Amino acid sequence: VTNGGKTTLAEKLKKMLPNCDVISQDDFFKPESEVETDERGFKLYDVLDALYMDEMVKSIRNWMKSPASSGVVTEEPQNACNNLKNTEDVYILIVEGFLLYNYEPLNELWNRRYFLTLPYEECKKRRSTRVYQPADTPGYFDGHVWPMYVKYKNELEENASNVVYLDGTKSQEELLSCVYSDIIQELKKLRE
């Protein structure tokens, strides 16, 4: 969901996990001139066609081929604990974005999937505090952003499995703790 805390969570995890890097879907938006406009004049940014998804997949696959040469920081993470011992050879890539699980070529790549949710009112409130380029036009949230979120969330619920749904109204600390603990469990499985 827009303004659910995806980027914040990803960046905090990156600081806490060893050999961790982040790829953000926001870095793959097409320029405004290439984004479709609907009959109401809304730029359709909340659809897969507004993004260079093939380039994103290519970036992820390139990282996976050679994570050690990707520039990932291999220093000791903040708050390192005993759970992270013997993980020098494990590299973690966090891919964050709002339309990741609805793009089929990516679905074979995930080890873990998390989906942040927000109720309508909270999402609208958070969105209203952000500045976008181009700026949201009046009615854009209700006319495009929220309906696209609902559409893609419904598709995800129908077609995807093994998705951990996270309540985006919880504190950043709670969300971080939950996802971090889950990743540590996953790392332990990899070591076994």
**Domain map of the chain by residue range?**
6-67+90-190
68 pLDDT band, cuts 50/70/90, is confident
Of 65-69, 96-100, 170-174, least confident by mean pLDDT is: 65-69
- Say what percent of the chain tops pLDDT 90: 73
146 pLDDT band, cuts 50/70/90, is very high
Average of pLDDT values for 120-148? Answer: 93
Average pLDDT of the chain is 89
Give yes or no: 46 in active site: no
Residue tagged active-site, from 21, 26, 54, 136: 26
Average of pLDDT values for 139-155? Answer: 95
User: Is residue 69 a contact partner of residue 20, using CB atoms and an 8 Å limit?
Assistant: no
CATH level 3 topology of 6-67+90-190: Rossmann fold (3.40.50)
